[in-house]
Structure 1
Amino acid sequence: MLFGIIAACEIGFWVVLLAGLTARYALRMRRLSTVLLVCVPLVDVVLLVATVIDLRGGAVAGITHGLAAAYIGFSVAFGHSTIRWADQRFAHRFAGGPEPWRPPKHGMARARHEWKEFGKAVIAWAIACVLLLAAIAMVGDSDRTAALTGWIARLTGVLAIWSLWPITYTIWPAKPKQTEADPVGEGTPQR
């Protein structure tokens, strides 16, 4: 049951987001758009309430409870940037807005971008871990919440792997690719 609610919340996130952006750019209904976009975080509240009700009802914590915490953490940490990403594309496509922002590809600018994304991942990890620890404390039965402890370790492992991207971009910054028109690879004509 909870897995279905998680799937419904993921679908609901995108449906409410697309409805809000469609109202803003295609229908030119700014107030309705604002109301719909403000409702996007309510999807997380629905999932949180469903998870608490399930655990309070005596359910043994399983993979879906851990997944719910991870989803909420990710949604809170990355939700704003996801909405901004979609908004830029809708504005460009339907309202003649500027080209959507793209992350830098090279050098220390790319490293800074990767550290910023990693910072969001740390926030997502922290929120998910707090939710998992709160669920463990709320249930108060280590036999029923053993899976949640495993999720903390799993999420920590994912965070450790994620850290490799900003570290490698910092140590070995990406360089522009050499093209046939630029055989030296410096980006300026040789004189």
Structure 2
Amino acid sequence: MSLREMAYSSDCLFVVSVVLLLQFLVAPASALPLNSTQYIDKLCQMSAIDDKIFCLQTLTGYPGALYAGDSVTLAEIVISGLLIPQVEKTMRFVLVTEKKEPSLKTQFQKYHETYRTIVYSLENAFGELRLFPRTATYEVMTCTDQITQVMNLIGKNQEMASKTLIDMTMQMKKLLPLGVAATQALGG
């Protein structure tokens, strides 16, 4: 067998292996639980949700949420899969900006502290979901106050870093009602 034939054979084997692997990794729609979106639908219809379309699009677009077998699991996914990563992403931005922009250091340290408080509250909420859903709801709701505090601290600052932080904070503000509704769905 020539070198060229061996390379072609190796490429074919690779393609066939990938195709077979994808059949196992990509779950067909028939593999979803029968009522896979019932918990999402219930959550998005709750009174804490103002933007029901955003809620449905966000949760049905997040694979973990589609496989939630109960309301508790969905609440865990919302907090640990959507809210906490958004806060952590924002915190990383704040830390980088603190280091890159010495003139903004004091101001961005305040944002960092506030976002650290938000992470702490969300982690507490996650830990309370199964036993104390009302406490979890309270913890998530305090994050709304913290977001408002960040917006007030930013005020009318117009430099690029503040504008970016406002955008990131507004995204968090849109996601928080999902966390509130998810905890309320558990009786919180």
Say which structure, 1 or 2, has more relative contact order (CA 8 Å, 6+ apart).
2
Does TM, scored on the shorter chain, surpass 0.5?
A: no
TM-score (norm 1): 0.34
Q: TM-score with structure 2 length normalisation? A: 0.34
Higher helix share: 2
